[in-house]
Amino acid sequence: MKTKKRYKRGYPVAILVGLEEDTAVIWKIFSHVAKQGKKLHINGIRNNPKDLYNFHESIINALRPTIQEGGRSIILASPLRENNHQELINHIREHHKWLTKGPCKTVFSKITGPASTPSQVAALTRTHIFKQIINETTEEETKNLLEILEKSIVNKDNNSLILFSPQEAENLIIKKQKPNDPKPEYLFLTNQYLSEYRQKNSLNRLMQIAINKKVKTRIVRAESPAGKRLTQLGGFTCLAKLNWKPSSK
């Protein structure tokens, strides 16, 4: 019997949205492959402001689960001579300020080129400019997220708990939570830490359970500025919120 060939997906890097005149296709970009998500259609015509507004809202609603899971790097692709990506960015700035600042701050970048079919996405992701945009977008995203971690490290009297090993994180994330237990919010690790960690199955299981439990999980490139800082901390951190204030002495 012929065995099914397994492909290497890698770790999540960013979200790509291919914007055409009347459709939007959402792709999850992993380190080794792109996986197609939802395909959305405009209900009406683009020249009708109400139809366009509803179309943009449907795109934001489709992106919400990924954003809530911690995916804050989104690249908007639009064909040459079309301005669909800028129109969506304008919509976000006007109607979704929660995506431009605060704890859900998301980094949006633009690229010119079609991204509606697997062959188009494959061609686009191989270009130098796409790789450059990926690096710039993810670096800005991880910088925003690690600012939260830095504040927790500096402000030792705040309501945060920082863990520096998967074993500690497992005890907090996988076990059944009691009402007063710290609530895990962020899980950061570098791609180098992931590739070199000996018990990869247990680490991948931890990350999947963390994502399922709405813990914002991000893998950071070790060579990026944010990755270098994370490496200084051991390459792995889990940030949790305390349900009680530590006593000050």
What lies within 8 Å, CB to CB, of 168 at 6+ separation is 238
Residue 11 CB neighbours (<10 A): 17
Question: What gap in Å lies between CA 43 and CA 97, rounded to an integer?
Answer: 25
Residue 147 CB neighbours (<10 A): 12
pLDDT value at residue 97:
92
| Cα within 13 Å of Cα(149), Cβ side | 26
Containing 146, the helix (H) or strand (E) segment is helix 128-154
Distance in Å from the first CA to the final CA of the chain: 68
SS3 of 72-136: the string is: CEEEEEECCCCCHHHHHHHHHHHHCHHHCCCCCCCEEEEEECCCCCHHHHHHHHCCHHHHHHHHH
The DSSP symbol for 43 reads S
pLDDT value at residue 246:
47
Handedness of CA 139, 145, 148, 152 (dihedral sign): negative
For the chain, list the domains and their CATH numbers: 12-126 (3.30.420.60), 144-241 (3.30.1330.30)
pTM recorded for the entire structure: 0.75
Q: pLDDT 10s digit of each residue in the chain, 249 long?
A: 444 444 466 777 889 999 999 999 999 998 778 999 999 999 999 999 999 999 999 999 999 988 877 778 899 999 988 999 999 999 999 999 999 887 778 889 999 999 999 999 999 999 999 989 988 887 787 777 778 778 877 775 567 888 999 999 998 898 767 777 888 988 999 999 998 999 988 998 998 898 888 888 888 888 888 888 899 999 999 998 886 554 444
The angle that helices 200-212 and 166-173 make with each other, rounded to 10 degrees, is 40
Question: What gap in Å lies between CA 46 and CA 28, rounded to an integer?
Answer: 25
